[in-house]
């Protein structure tokens, strides 16, 4: 999350300089995951299986880059169908009413060493609030099929109750079943949409 000590770093990584272009997120080679404390003793991990995204990257001035991601809320998987059905229901995401959650960047701050602070807005159900992603550029280059890819890893921490996902139940020994703090972890591979040759 953000701190008051974050400062933009003018110098950029040379490896990022060549990535300028529009990219679509490849869901087959990307992961949008989350984890939350369970029963006060461990963490449950899950992921979303269906999502799409657009990255508009500016290698010469990373602060001008933009990111847009939408996730189908009924595509979550924590490895337990009964729990997943509860998460999709009205107590949490209410996927039948709100099938998508989304993130859009509002500012990108280079931090040096291929790191970026991606500031934006996360919308879940009918609540949109600021969210900061700590992102690291993983590299770029052509894959085995000649497609140019760029990779990023990102993390963020949020309180689910801020977005209205406040359901819980107390435990007999004290505490609650589900923690309020959720950690997001993104591993993104995006493919550049090369421009068609001029006629």
> Per-residue pLDDT tens for 4-39?
344 443 333 347 888 999 999 999 999 999 999 887
- State the average pLDDT over residues 165-178: 84
Residue 148 CA: distances (Å) to CA of 26, 67, 125, 193: 12, 18, 34, 8
Look up tokens 């801020």; give the residue. Answer: 162
* Position 109 pLDDT exceeds 60: yes
What are 124-171's pLDDT values in tens digits? 999 999 999 999 999 999 999 999 999 999 999 999 999 999 988 888
What's the confidence (pLDDT) of residue 94? 97
Mean pLDDT of all residues belonging to the chain = 89
* Residue with the larger pLDDT of the pair 198 and 18: 18
123 has a pLDDT exceeding 50: yes
Of 6 and 77, the structure prediction assigns the larger pLDDT to 77
Distance, in Å, from the CA atom of 184 to the CA atom of 71, rounded to the nearest integer, reads: 13
Alpha carbon 71 to chain centroid, angstroms: 9
| Percent of the chain's residues with pLDDT above 70 | 90
Residues 71 and 58: their CA atoms lie apart, in Å, by: 24
The token duo for 80 is: 């337990």
The pLDDT of residue 13 is 39
């Amino acid at each position: 999350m953000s701190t008051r000590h974050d400062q933009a770093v003018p110098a950029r990584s040379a490896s990022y300089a060549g990535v300028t272009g529009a990219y679509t997120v490849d869901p087959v080679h990307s992961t949008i995951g989350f984890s939350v404390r369970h029963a006060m003793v461990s963490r449950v991990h899950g992921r979303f299986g269906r999502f799409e995204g657009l990255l508009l990257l500016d290698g010469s001035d990373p602060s001008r880059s933009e990111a847009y991601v939408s996730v189908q809320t009924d595509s979550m998987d924590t490895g337990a169908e009964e729990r997943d059905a509860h998460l999709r229901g009205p107590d949490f995401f209410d996927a039948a009413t709100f099938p998508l959650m989304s993130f859009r960047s509002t500012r990108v701050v280079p931090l040096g060493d291929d790191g970026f602070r991606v500031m934006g807005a996360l919308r879940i159900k009918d609540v949109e609030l600021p969210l900061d992603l700590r992102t690291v550029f993983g590299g770029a280059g052509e894959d085995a099929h000649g497609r140019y890819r760029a990779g990023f890893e990102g993390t963020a921490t949020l309180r689910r109750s801020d977005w209205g996902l406040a359901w819980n139940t107390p435990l007999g020994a004290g505490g609650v079943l589900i923690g309020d703090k959720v950690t997001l972890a993104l591993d993104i591979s995006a493919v550049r949409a090369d421009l068609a040759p001029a006629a």
